[in-house]
């Protein structure tokens, strides 16, 4: 038997007391959430890198902070899927196939449009977090639900900051 080939096809059977139905439901929900997290992270960094205008410094720094916060979620999401016996993203292509948040590849986006789009994306992301929370809650996965509750609060804060920063001066 080819040992290398066997290792490539060996199942990743991480034991969990949540049961196989929980793994079948929660791990894919987390993996899809992870794809959206990477999409939101990259869009936030895209707008951070391409920010311009009179509020450049403030917006640039805010988006950098928000990007760091979003990226900090990625490892915890992936590891949670693995801890409960599932698998997670394997490539950028895999993430692209699963993500629900739209990319923005425009050559130029105004600062106000950047803030509005990210505010909307964060609100949509909060709804994805709530849906994943419901799946985890259905299986009494308190570890996943408690992580998600913190992320919902952080996401709502980002959406709030983006909304307030994008308001026209009165």
At 20 the pLDDT is: 73
* Domain segments of the chain as ranges: 20-165
Q: 110-157, pLDDT tens digit by residue?
A: 999 999 999 999 999 999 999 999 999 999 999 999 999 999 999 999
The DSSP annotation for the chain comes to: --HHHHHHHS------SS-HHHHHHHHHHHHHHHHHHHHHHHHHHHHHHT--STTHHHHHHHHHHHHHHHHHHHHHHHHHHHHTT-----SHHHHHHH--SPP---S---HHHHHHHHHHHHHHHHHHHHHHHHHHHHTT-HHHHHHHHHHHHHHHHHHHHHHHHTSPP-
Q: What is the pTM of this model?
A: 0.90
At 17 the pLDDT is: 61
At 170 the pLDDT is: 72
Q: Are 168 and 115 in contact (CB under 8 A)?
A: no
At 5 the pLDDT is: 64
Distance (Å, whole) CA 160 – CA 26: 28
At 2 the pLDDT is: 62
- Write out residues in the chain with pLDDT < 70, as ranges: 1-18
At 22 the pLDDT is: 81
Considering the domain delimited by 20-165, tell me its CATH architecture: Up-down Bundle (1.20)
Q: Are 41 and 67 in contact (CB under 8 A)?
A: yes
At 23 the pLDDT is: 87
């Amino acid at each position: 038997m080819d040992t290398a080939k066997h290792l490539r096809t060996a199942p990743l059977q991480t034991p969990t007391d949540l049961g196989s139905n929980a793994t079948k439901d929660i791990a894919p929900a987390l993996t899809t959430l992870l794809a959206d997290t990477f999409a939101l992270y990259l869009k936030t960094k895209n707008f951070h890198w391409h920010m311009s205008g009179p509020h450049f410094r403030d917006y640039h720094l805010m988006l950098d902070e928000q990007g760091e916060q979003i990226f900090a979620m990625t490892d915890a999401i992936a590891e949670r899927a693995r801890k409960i016996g599932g698998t997670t993203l394997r490539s950028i292509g895999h993430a692209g196939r699963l993500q629900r948040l739209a990319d923005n590849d425009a050559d130029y986006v105004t600062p106000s449009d950047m803030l509005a789009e990210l505010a909307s994306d964060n609100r949509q992301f909060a709804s994805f977090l709530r849906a994943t929370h419901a799946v985890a809650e259905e299986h009494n996965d308190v570890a996943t639900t408690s992580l998600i509750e913190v992320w919902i609060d952080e996401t709502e804060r980002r959406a709030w900051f983006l909304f307030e920063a994008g308001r026209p001066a009165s």
